[in-house]
Amino acid sequence: MSSQWWMQPVRQPDSAVAAEAARRQETLTKPPGSLGELETLAIGLAGLQRRSRPAVERITIAVFAGDHGVAANGVSAFPQAVTTEMVRNFARGGAAISVLARQLGAALEVINLGTVGDTSEVEGVTNIVLGAGTADFTAAPAMTAEQLDAALDAGRAAVGDADLFIGGEMGIGNTTAAAAVACALLQLPPSRLAGPGTGLDGDGVRRKAEIISRGLARHDIGPDAPLHVLRCLGGFEIAALVGAYLAAGQRGVPVLVDGFISSVAALAAVRLRPELAPWLIYSHRSAEPGHALVLEALDAEPLLDLGMRLGEGSGAAVAVSLLRQACVLHNEMATFAEAAVSR
């Protein structure tokens, strides 16, 4: 690897500010703890943002796209051309995350890290092309060291000065890559982490598990080298998410993590830098079956369970409203003294 910026210190939440926010919660006109997780969210955000009145107004959403060589093994119900087509759809405002970003007033960046199709002429796409997709991990490492380094750097560059960062992904075959990474990091068999992805039937899921098994056997990698796992089994967009999460922790930007693929990236990032964990808020429980195992490994309890499995950052975008409500309740409710209400 050409640099090791990810080894720079991750910021620590401000415990004094969090304690101040907790004291404010005790004075608001409600029974203590009656707002449940909304109180916990407000207090946690206060500590992360280092201000006793947290806010989630300025939101950065980055959707990373890349194709996967492993898709040649028939692990997806859709052709790889869909990745390029969806990148165009993101940029033109027609995808779910595009609609949600507009509704939230969020800044949306679409970053193509390497699709089979060309998007160089598509307005609104940042092209950082690392190759025409990754290599087939059943035959070779998915990425070179240089490609992995560049993907991590692309994720780092996408994290700006905001109240909240959301990372999304797009890539036909990426549930296979994510499941393979999770299998290596969790030391679990593919049968427990392979799921339907974009709509595979039972036979398709079994084939996906067999392909992942072939990749794991070829590379013979253990759980204690997350960057090596990413290079051998991951994808450009998964590695970019890892880089973005690490950079967010270094810069003091809270992260709202999306579904299965994004959570696998979070798992890799936390394995690399365990002190990153407080910066990651998990938005929803995906319908992809392996997500529950990844969340368990992260000791994470997501905010929502809506049966979503779209990706793109869409589940995280839906959960933003909960964070905003937590903040406005914390900031604008009257205290007992202000309302002249007996405690």
Q: Within 10 Å of residue 336's Cβ, how many Cβ atoms?
A: 14
The string of pLDDT tens digits covering residues 96-106 is 999 999 999 99
Residue spans of alpha helices (H) in the chain: 15-27, 37-49, 81-92, 96-104, 145-158, 174-186, 190-193, 202-219, 226-233, 236-251, 260-272, 291-298, 314-332, 336-339
Give me the residue label for tokens 């075959």: 173
Q: Domain 59-327 maps to which CATH number in 3.40.50.10210, 3.40.50.150, 1.20.120.160, 3.10.620.30?
A: 3.40.50.10210
121 part of the active site: no
DSSP bridge partners of 256: 281
Domain ranges of the chain: 7-54, 59-327
pLDDT surpassing 80 at residue 273: yes
3-state SS, one letter per residue, for 264-293: HHHHHHHHHCHHHHHHEEECECCCCCCHHH
The Cβ-side half-sphere exposure at 28, using a 13 Å CA radius, reads 20
Predicted structure pTM score? 0.97
- Provide the Cα torsion 197, 147, 127, 75; round to 10°: -20
> For 232-262, what is each residue's pLDDT tens digit?
999 999 999 999 999 999 999 999 999 999 9
Structure tokens at 99: 């609609």
Which entry of 275, 312, 332, 338 is annotated as an active-site residue? 312
Helix-helix angle 174-186:202-219, to 10 degrees: 50
181: nearest Cα among 134, 129, 222, 148:
222
Q: What is the pLDDT of residues 54-109, one digit of tens each?
A: 999 999 999 999 999 999 999 999 999 999 999 999 999 999 999 999 999 999 99
> Domain 7-54 is of which CATH architecture?
Orthogonal Bundle (1.10)
